[in-house]
Structure formats: C-alpha cells, structure tokens
Amino acid sequence: MARPTSATIHLDALRHNLGQVRALAPRSRAMAVVKADGYGHGLERVARALAGADAFGVAALSDAERLRAAGISQPILLLSGFDEPSDIERLRALNVWTAVHHVSQIEMLEQALPGEPLDCWLKLDSGMHRLGFAPEAFRAAYERLSAMRGGTVGDIVLMNHFASSDEFADSPSQGVQTREQLDVFRATTAGLDAGHSLANSAAVLGWPEAHGTWIRPGGALYGMSVVEGRTGADFGLRPAMTLSTRLIAVNRVRRGSRIGYAGTWECPEDMDIGVAAIGYGDGYPRAAPAGTPVRVAGHHTQVIGRVSMDLMTVDLRGVPGAKVGDPVTLWGEDLPVEIIAERAGTIGYELTCSITRRVRFIER
C-alpha cells in the first residue's frame, strides 16, 4: 500500500480567501503572493486557482518561468528584484515586473541594452531595515529610474514592507512601528506620481489606511493568520491545506511505559497508543511537543512522545474503537495550522512551506 500521507489543497478555499481579501480592500488591486511554491501548496496549482488575482508575486525568477510555462498570463512581480545584468533579458522575455531596492540594480538598468520597458517597483526601507532605499536616498533613486522611463523603465510603483503589521491599528498601545513606517512612507513619497503598494496580509486585515493601489497578500490567501492568538477563521478565511495520514498501528501499552525516542512521555495508565504514518520527514515539525492537538477518526486528541522521521505516536484515550487505518488529521479544517505552529514555536507559513516531496498532493 502507498504511504497514506497526503496534503489536500482546497481550491475553493483559495478562491474564497481571495474574495475575502478583495472585500477588505475593495479599492486596491490584489497581487497574490505565491513565493516558496505557493507557501508549500504548489505554485502552478495555486496560480490556476487564483486566476482572479490581478498579478502574482514571486521571490525567484525560476518561479516566474514556471508560471509562464504553465500558461499564466497575469502580470508577475519579482519581489526581491533581479541579481545580475543577464536577468534583465529574462525579465523582458517573460514580461515580468521587478522590484528595485538597491542602487546596484539601477546601475544595471542604466547599462542595459535597449529593449522592452520593465515595470519597476521601487522599494523604500521605511523602517524594517531589510530591503529598500533609505528615505534620504529614495528620491534620488526615483529620479534615476524616472529618467529611464519610456526606455528601459516602464511604469513605476512605490512599495515598502511592514515589519509588525500583525499588531493592528485599532489599539493605541500597539502598532507603533507600523504607524512610524506609514509616516515615513507618506513623507518620502509625497508628490511622486506613482502607485503605492504597502500591505501584506496582516496589513490588509488590520491597516485599511495602508491598502494603497496594490495589496500583496500571501498567507491570508492560504487561510492563515500571523496575528497572535487569532487564526484565519477569525477573519473569515478558510484553510487551504489539510495534512492527513492514517494509523498504521494501535497498541495496548502498560502504565509506566515510556513512549518513543528518549522515553520522554510516560503512560499514566494502561492505555491504547496509535502510531501515525507521518513525521518530520514529511514536514510535520519535530518541535511539536506532547500535547499538540491532532485528530483521529474525528476525535480531538494529542501527540505523545517525540515526533520521529516517519512516525508519530498519539493518545487514543478518548478515541473509542480506534483501529488501524483510521484517518489522522494533523492540520486543516477544525485544526488550524496556526495552533500547531504555535506549539512548535513557529508560524503556520513555515509549516506549510516545509511539506516534503514524499507527501502526496491532492486537489479538491
């Protein structure tokens, strides 16, 4: 029998989530961020399901190539821009827009041979201090790009990225960094004749004033929230991935027995233990401790012992009649990936991105 471990991707949930996001930002165009293989959901699959998006955002030129090869015709933005002069020809051939965040990119554009104009998203570092021009260098960068308009450069959009937009505007004690970033963005771009793009998912959900011309949601489209203590469902989003497997053993174990590697979990009574065909070799986090929720045959129960590479053990007290072959849900509907991630000390994005190649993907 084939290994029963699968990731089911809910195409209707992806479409539903795009609708939710659009309803929240009705005056903005929506770029669906599909980097990292569509946050692990499958790049081409996600792009086809989200055909209603106005554009796609990727982090690698090779992803743009994959999208074009799959027949995706919407605009595509390379979110961190190009790295070397030969990339400019590839961008033109693929009709892909590029972020411009560093003076080295402007120099490469100035030295490029004539060709199709490239739309450029000029990135301001408004306070995250990752990519982007410092405020004092931004206007000069804009002038240099503008001077190439109609030649190497087509349209210009002004963008930034938020560091803490998961702290919302609706509470005065919170959102200080986002408020500062917004102020810097406004002051630096005042009077420049170009569209604006500021908002990632959290800013779409919690910072209406930052919606601008283009929103750039990623996680929300997959049904995930990065807002502490709140899951996608709290914002009307639906999880786009269900990770599941089956029990391959049910064993009676005596009180005092210690389960799994290093014997970290001790049975408090005689009890049934289930062994599920999933582990960190499939992308389930090894860091998920005993007590992490899991569903077996529709019943909520918990992980016990250490997660190993191919297997994990689950508590079958409270799962009446549990037997080999019973379905096990690791995350999905009624079991938000954000909850599992929180137990494992990370965010849902990292978990969905980490599903490995031996997991079978199913579209539904």
Catalytic residues: 35, 261
130 is in an annotated binding site: yes
Task: Determine phi and psi for 92, rounding to 5 degrees.
Answer: -65, -45
Residue spans of beta strands (DSSP E) within the chain: 6-9, 29-33, 55-58, 76-78, 96-100, 118-123, 153-159, 195-197, 214-215, 241-253, 258-259, 265-266, 271-276, 293-296, 299-304, 312-315, 327-331, 360-363
In 260-338, at which residue ranges do the beta strands (DSSP E only) sit?
A: 265-266, 271-276, 293-296, 299-304, 312-315, 327-331
Distance CA 307, CA 286 (A): 5
Q: Which residue has the tokens 């903005």?
A: 28
The site for ligand PLP (CB under 6 A) is made up of 33, 35, 79, 161, 200-202, 216-220, 226
Local structure of 167: helix, strand or coil:
coil
Taking the complex as a whole, the smallest distance from the CB of residue 282 to ligand PLP amounts, in Å, to: 23
- Determine contact, residues 160/123, Cβ cutoff 8 Å: yes
The answer to whether the beta carbons of residues 52 and 16 sit under 8 Å apart is no
Per the DSSP assignment, residues forming a β-bridge with 363 are 9
| Residue number with CB closer to ligand PLP (223 or 274) | 223
Q: Which is nearer to ligand PLP, 35 or 306 (CB)?
A: 35
| Residue 226 beta carbon to ligand PLP: minimum distance, rounded to whole angstroms | 6
Q: Which is nearer to ligand PLP, 222 or 265 (CB)?
A: 222
Cβ 200 to ligand PLP shortest distance, Å: 4
**Helix segments in 72-120, DSSP class H:** 85-94, 103-110
Shortest Å distance, C-beta 311 to ligand PLP? 31
How near is the Cβ of 161 to ligand PLP at its closest, in Å?
A: 5
Handedness of CA 324, 330, 333, 339 (dihedral sign): positive
- Is the CB of 23 or the CB of 113 nearer to ligand PLP? 23
CB nearer ligand PLP, residue 231 or residue 301? 231
Q: Quick one: tokens of 224? A: 């995930």
Instruction: Return the closest-CA partner of residue 37 out of 46, 50, 29.
Output: 46
Residue nearest to ligand PLP (CB): 218
Task: Output the known binding site.
Answer: 130, 309
Task: Output the known binding site for substrate.
Answer: 130, 309
